[in-house]
Amino acid sequence: MAEQTAQFRFNAYKILDCSISISEEIDISKQISINFEQTFGDITKGNEYRHTLVASIEDDNKALSIKVKAIGFFEFDNIPDEQMRMRFSSTNAPAILFPYVRAYISSLTALSGISPITLPTLNLSKR
């Protein structure tokens, strides 16, 4: 069987913006809320694609607030089907980028002198 190359490739990521705020007086609650926003980027230079993912975390006591904005750089081969291209960009891109954001938040919290926050894994295929 002939080996087939991927039609969609992950090239790199960058953390574009990060903020963390920790209250000195109030204890951080074990209950946190997590919100995600994503921006389906433009296809640039013909076959390059950029996907932005923003994770916002806040505890119930408002003693902890974290916001991380990351961008992933992807590349398409010649994919004629627009529906397939949208599936890659709406499901595959965030699934590939999310573990980097997850690890970044875990390291950021651990290095900030609080218990590390490990975000739960996400199943992006059942949307």
Rg over alpha carbons for the chain, rounded to the nearest Å, is 17
- What is the CATH number that goes with domain 8-110? 3.10.420.10
pLDDT of residue 123: 73
Give residue limits of the domains in the chain: 8-110
Q: Does residue 52 surpass a pLDDT of 90?
A: yes
Distance CA 17, CA 71 (A): 10
Local confidence band at 45 (pLDDT 50, 70, 90 cut-offs): low
Is the confidence at residue 2, as pLDDT, over 60?
A: no
With a threshold of 0.95, does the pTM exceed it?
A: no
